[in-house]
Structure 1
Amino acid sequence: MKKVSATVYGLLLILNLPLQAKETDYLDCIETHLVQLANDAMIAKLKERCKHLVTQEANQPGALSRRFDKERNSAFNPYVITPHRMNYILPFTYTDSINTDAYQDLNNYADNLEKSESKFQMSLKVPFNEDPIFSKGDGLYFGFTLASWWQVYSNNISKPFRETNYRPELFYITPINWRPLSVSTGAIIGIEHQSNGRTQILSRSWNRVYAGFLVEKQNFAFAFVPWIRIPENKKADPLDDKGDDNPDIQKYMGHFEVLMAHKWDRYEVNLMTRYNFTSNNGGVELGFTFPLWGKIRGYAQYFAGYGESLIDYNHKHQRLGIGIALTNIL
């Protein structure tokens, strides 16, 4: 008689069935299906486990949310400064068209401007709330960004800072409980002032209110941020201290920004673009960071269009720079 496995033999004892030689084919069939049932159960369990892991991974917060979570852990430490926008230093940049028109009334200044200059940006934010205000993970912040263009390669005009922009803002940001296609969403609303701190013919400034929609998934983040400019009174004379320094600024700066960032491994690429569909003017900035050593990262930046700085809001040019980034976006 054909040998029967312990599994089948145990089943026969439970069912109180006799073991006869003529039934060996039948028993082989039972054994085969018992093994198959065990495999099916294991496969079902494995499928359930994988489904859980995939769902769990899809619901993981994106890179931008992970950044905010890490910042909250140290945001109220008095010895820690929390970054806002990117912080970088570009020792060398080159533009195909330096803006000399804005400085024509300054003797011997415009003609001595060099197309090569340095650029840097420092940006930080300060949180107001440690506990949620309206929803879990939301935050009210004061932000401040300083960007400067330094004529360090000009020998005839004492290497001045050609332009410095100051950008204080107050903003509220919150996640949204809406996850289409397994992406995370959020919203931001704020008010900001931007100025170059100059007077009379070199003065440039504007105020705006903005509201944006954020989307992130894993290591990709996207933001659409439209704004409304707060109107100012017209100047009776160009040399007046009060009034609108640049009434046509939205013609060149547009009514919105689109921001994107993606990182893989230790590299990150980011994109900013703005546009005015009526005037067909706008600008685009592309950045790329790569590892160097420690927290220091290499950074390459390319800009094309209008409005890289306030003094250049109506001056079209291209600029390429190389340097280091102290912080990333994601």
Structure 2
Amino acid sequence: MLKSLFVTLVIFFLVPKALAKTQSFDDLFQECLFTSIKTANKDQTLKQIESDCEKKIAKKHMGAKELGAISERMIKERQSAFNPYVITPHKMNYILPVIVTNALNTEAYSDYSNWAENIKDIEAKFQISIKVPLFTSTFLVKGDQLFFGFTLESWWQIYSENISRPFRETNYQPEFFYFIPTKWHPFDTNSGIFFGLEHQSNGRSQLISRSWNRVYANFLFEKDSFAFSFRPWFRIPEGDEPTTRDVIGDDNSDITKYMGHFELGMAYDWRKDYEISLKIRENFASHHGAIEIGFTFPLWGKLRGYAQYFNGYGESLIDYNHKQQRFGIGIALTDIL
């Protein structure tokens, strides 16, 4: 079922507009830059002219009222999107050399080698997340975009010398998502909508295999240095039979009981130096969910310090039905805003 959905999505989005004769964002920017330079005040710098062009294009082609942190990021991403020497980040990219938990999940590994007795409540964690734009110009509506994204999260038992420091859990998350800017400006915000299809798996087999597929919508609002998102989702069923030693079925049929049906996200960039982020998931029927708080701060160059606190269910797929508190400290390579 997932394969057919991916094929349908690609055909629906790529075929009808593959030959669309619309200008790319880079074309629009270069055209604006050329026109503005000819008529610019002699006191204006090139940086000021570029900033003015970015604002004009954002207002005309993305429906933005005033540029916020996310609009600025999207504009800069569009300018370098098809540069072969630039990798565009998707979610945050970070390394936490130290992350500790107050409730280690040994039960998940009780039937798996000797891990249950030897894994430690302190480990390392990192996340790598990138995205690739799939077309250069307007597709269905002005300012829209289609992406392929990939996120990898890994938890590394680097301090467990008795079991050769294995990667305890790695989650792989490929996705297709489509972005539409809107001209709706509640409370003077800019808004947009994402529609996505994603798969998430830990790449394991049999009793420690975890995976799910879902479709989602993400309603995004921004104003100045503040962003808010509401992302509901629907889990695509994988059959009625659970996975056993002999049968490959649904690895985690009750995952939405713990992961919920939506996520609220917020981010605030204070003085371009300090960023606070918040994620909340909840299932109101089971009263299970999670909260994650992140904080980034300057270090040196492009590197930023990053502290992360998590409380609830589903920090990783193997822990989807296990409640714990975790705190980590390390380095962020990219921010949210």
* Alignment TM class, shorter chain as reference: 0.7 to 0.9
Which of 311, 315, 320 matches 1:308? 315
Which residue identity is paired with 2:118? N
1:235: how far off?
2.6
- Partner of 2:303 in structure 1? 296
- Partner of 2:224 in structure 1? 218
List, as ranges, runs of 4+ consecutive aligned residues in structure 1 with deviation greater than 6 Å: none
1:129: how far off?
1.4
1:309: how far off?
0.2
Q: Is 2:175 the partner of 1:195?
A: no
Which of 262, 266, 274 matches 1:260? 266
Q: SS of the counterpart of 2:317?
A: coil
Q: SS of the counterpart of 1:189?
A: strand
Q: Aligned partners of 1:189, 1:207: CA distance in 2, in Å?
A: 14
**Per-residue displacement from partner, 1:118-137 (whole Å, max 9, x unpaired)?**
00000000001111112232
Which residue identity is paired with 1:175? P
Q: 1:299 to 1:241 in 2, by over 3 A?
A: farther
Q: Aligned partners of 2:135, 2:311: CA distance in 1, in Å?
A: 38
Q: Aligned partners of 2:259, 2:242: CA distance in 1, in Å?
A: 24
Which residue identity is paired with 1:227? W
Report the aligned-residue RMSD.
1.3
Q: Aligned partners of 1:74, 1:176: CA distance in 2, in Å?
A: 23
Unaligned runs of 5+ in 2: 1-58
Q: Is the 8 A contact 1:298 1:324 kept in 2?
A: yes
1:82-161 correspondence to structure 2 within 5 Å: 82-161=88-167
**Per-residue displacement from partner, 1:80-136 (whole Å, max 9, x unpaired)?**
110000000000011001110000012321011100000000000000111111223
Q: SS of the counterpart of 1:137?
A: coil
Q: Aligned partners of 1:288, 1:117: CA distance in 2, in Å?
A: 20
- Partner of 2:40 in structure 1? none
Q: SS of the counterpart of 2:281?
A: strand
1:237: how far off?
5.5
Unaligned runs of 5+ in 1: 1-55
Q: Is the 8 A contact 1:268 1:290 kept in 2?
A: yes
Which of 267, 275, 282 matches 2:282? 275
Q: 1:122 to 1:237 in 2, by over 3 A?
A: closer
- Partner of 2:239 in structure 1? 233
Q: SS of the counterpart of 1:143?
A: strand
Q: Aligned partners of 1:186, 1:113: CA distance in 2, in Å?
A: 43
Which of 179, 183, 207 matches 1:177? 183
Question: TM-score when scaled to structure 1?
Answer: 0.81
Q: Is the 8 A contact 1:92 1:323 kept in 2?
A: yes
Q: 1:92 to 1:236 in 2, by over 3 A?
A: closer
Q: Aligned partners of 2:302, 2:84: CA distance in 1, in Å?
A: 21
Q: Is the 8 A contact 2:120 2:157 kept in 1?
A: yes
Of 164-173 and 236-245, deviating more is 236-245
Q: Is the 8 A contact 1:297 1:326 kept in 2?
A: yes
Q: SS of the counterpart of 1:259?
A: strand
Q: Is the 8 A contact 2:243 2:251 kept in 1?
A: no
- Partner of 1:207 in structure 2? 213
1:236: how far off?
6.1
Q: Alignment length, in residue pairs?
A: 274
Q: 1:216 to 1:236 in 2, by over 3 A?
A: closer
> Percent identity at matched positions?
63
Q: SS of the counterpart of 2:253?
A: coil
Q: SS of the counterpart of 1:156?
A: helix
Of 129-138 and 83-92, deviating more is 129-138
Question: TM-score when scaled to structure 2?
Answer: 0.79
Q: Is the 8 A contact 2:190 2:221 kept in 1?
A: yes
Q: Is the 8 A contact 1:88 1:326 kept in 2?
A: yes
- Partner of 2:20 in structure 1? none
Q: Aligned partners of 2:152, 2:203: CA distance in 1, in Å?
A: 11
Which residue identity is paired with 1:313? Y
**Per-residue displacement from partner, 1:6-25 (whole Å, max 9, x unpaired)?**
xxxxxxxxxxxxxxxxxxxx
Q: 1:142 to 1:155 in 2, by over 3 A?
A: same
